[in-house]
Chains A and B, each alone.
Chain A
């Protein structure tokens, strides 16, 4: 009754809203087309359709995708599928969801999984495989991964010696954001060793400016940026072999290597002279959102912010992200100039169906063809696909990231907390490092995380 009484008025209002939305949407398209992706709308002509003929006639079939990649990154994803859709006549149904990481498990357990899911953590992949609903990747995908990706990347998509998931996108976490103009004015040099980084921090601090800024608040995931910091230092101070043992819990979490890494992080993040530029004291790191964390660089509140390449999405539209712009990033140096450890992450394509159209699409996603098509369409996206031509990337930060990933000297390691069991990687590790930043000592912190490791 009450609903009817507002009916006509509401309908009129809604009609207006939809109309406005349409017009604005069109206007936005007109604006955006010119400066980023307008000219190369991909089509079947760009790729070799013959590679899908072995999958038979797929016309009219549908493949459903479920992912945490949402606006604005979803549009280049969807557009990059068009050549495949035109070749095969398959419709790709894309579903982006901010709550993907919890919902995908619910759906898999209940027997309602999508055809494909883009999983950002090897740990979650293992959980999905444990539901018994995931299916192994077909040979065509496995062959592509052998051809286009490093062995380590294939290993991240492998559970219990069975290969499930091919890598999709990647990100580089060993980056420090800075202001090129500030560096130029003050004659600061981009550091090439950890010692130089420390010296640079001291130099800035001596000018009465807090060099670093950071933010770790992220709702239920609060604390994760510190886990990245710690992994970066674990990798640098103890080396990749120790890092692997640490992630697999072959050495305890409260061992000397681990404590040393966290203390080294504390040298920056718990140093009152270094943080938290633009936001206050050390504790303010805990309540500053990770998205806001590095923004004071632009206003001169701080000079350095360690965060992955995807942080590029958080700068305002009018901030120029380039080597000669307002902000840019440099590689977080190794212990010495000769070693080049890189911490990063990425998504993996896990399948829950082995219908031919699903396999055909999986195969497409694992090719260099797709990686290059995607690269041309997007900003803030890179892949570890060796067939990716860096020249196809348009933004400077993407070029930098891809360059780091493809550097033959680089030793890549996947984000450790994403591989640890969920009780640690998405709970205790976050929680304890948050307590650590608000005052808890290093020993208690690593002891508590060790205690939380599932027996």
Chain B
């Protein structure tokens, strides 16, 4: 803010050393805040002290969420009852549009496909792979291969899959660019325009999401598998349990909470997905999903009201997932 002050951590900085210093300062500020919280927590005694510690530990998180997510979320709910420009109250009209307009109904149908297929397939692939390569030689290299897609940005992913789905006609000098069509040509079949036919195209886009998310599932589940105590496994082994039995009776029950976490996380990520759809088809050919439609209505079509209503629909769609998790939580507490 002032030039006389040699260093003020909230000033814009241009030099590399300045940036590093600012980052370290930010970390120090953060550590100081944590220190204060922990110091206060260490003073607490007894049952009421417990309560105080609970709120104290939550305070920074809740404060940030309140400002950063709850307030914008409520604002969105409010906007969803207004028209495109946001200057006239129109009640539930935007919601009526979502559930009556033919295009929007396709959007809802596609969203259901995405949410039903992606979490289960991605989790299954990740789990199977985590078990198969567990303790294998070169395990970490093998895991890196599945993990790789997670490390690629969406821009990269969309190019990668373009080289899979791209179509060229089967004529004289023209060569295929997409791997999938090249395989068809090698097999003597006609190449196909994969991204045009609905609903097949939606599933082909889902494949991309599964390809990305399996790495997440594998990593978390692998960590969970590794947390299964050796003696449990050893005991089962001495009892002569088969490989499948080991999976069914030892591995799966032990990592069940992690599986729930993974399914839930991928489910929510899938609901929010829009980059894949936007970069690969732009939501055309009946491939749009709620999150993409929300983005295009809010930021492209200048229809703030409908965009907000679609965002609220996302909140609503996540309720079943929330309920499922609460039940899991209750069940595990009862155990």
Contact = CB atoms under 8 A, between A and B. Distances in A.
Given A278-B174, A281-B169, A434-B284, A219 B278 contact: yes
Given A102-B299, A127-B302, A287-B196, A279 B285 contact: no
Interface in B270-305: 278-279, 281-285, 296-297, 299-303
Contacts of B281: 222
A219 B283 CA distance: 8
A438 B299 contact: no
Given A279-B169, A281-B169, A283-B193, A220 B283 contact: yes
Interface string A400-430: 0000000000000000000001110011000
B84 interface: yes
A438 B285 CA distance: 8
B111 to A, nearest CB: 18
A222 B168 CA distance: 19
Main DSSP-derived SS at the B contact region: loop
B193 A219 contact: no
Contacts of A299: 173
B300 A431 contact: no
Nearest to A438: B196
Contacts of B84: 423, 454
B284 A286 contact: yes
B173 A222 contact: no
A280 B167 contact: yes
Contact of B282 (A105, A221, A280, A422): A221
Contacts, number: 70
A422 B301 contact: yes
B195 interface: yes
Interface string A143-162: 00000000000000000000
B14 to A, nearest CB: 11
B296 A287 contact: no
Contacts of A218: 282
Interface residues of A, number: 32
A83 interface: no
A286 B285 contact: yes
Interface residues of B, number: 26
Interface in A148-180: none
Nearest to B280: A219
Contacts of A365: none
Interface in A57-89: none
A223 interface: yes
A274 to B, nearest CB: 15
A286 B169 contact: no
Interface in A282-334: 283-284, 286-287, 299, 301
A299 B301 CA distance: 38
A220 B296 CA distance: 8
A217 interface: yes
Contact of B195 (A287, A427, A431, A435): A287
A421 B174 CA distance: 41
Contacts of B166: 287
Nearest to A218: B282
B301 A427 contact: yes
A337 to B, nearest CB: 36
A230 to B, nearest CB: 17
Interface of B: 84-85, 166-169, 171, 173-174, 193, 195-196, 278-279, 281-285, 296-297, 299-303
25 contacts: A102-B300, A106-B299, A130-B85, A219-B278, A220-B283, A220-B300, A221-B282, A222-B282, A278-B174, A279-B169, A283-B196, A284-B167, A284-B193, A287-B166, A287-B195, A422-B300, A422-B301, A422-B302, A423-B303, A426-B300, A427-B296, A427-B297, A431-B283, A438-B196, A454-B84
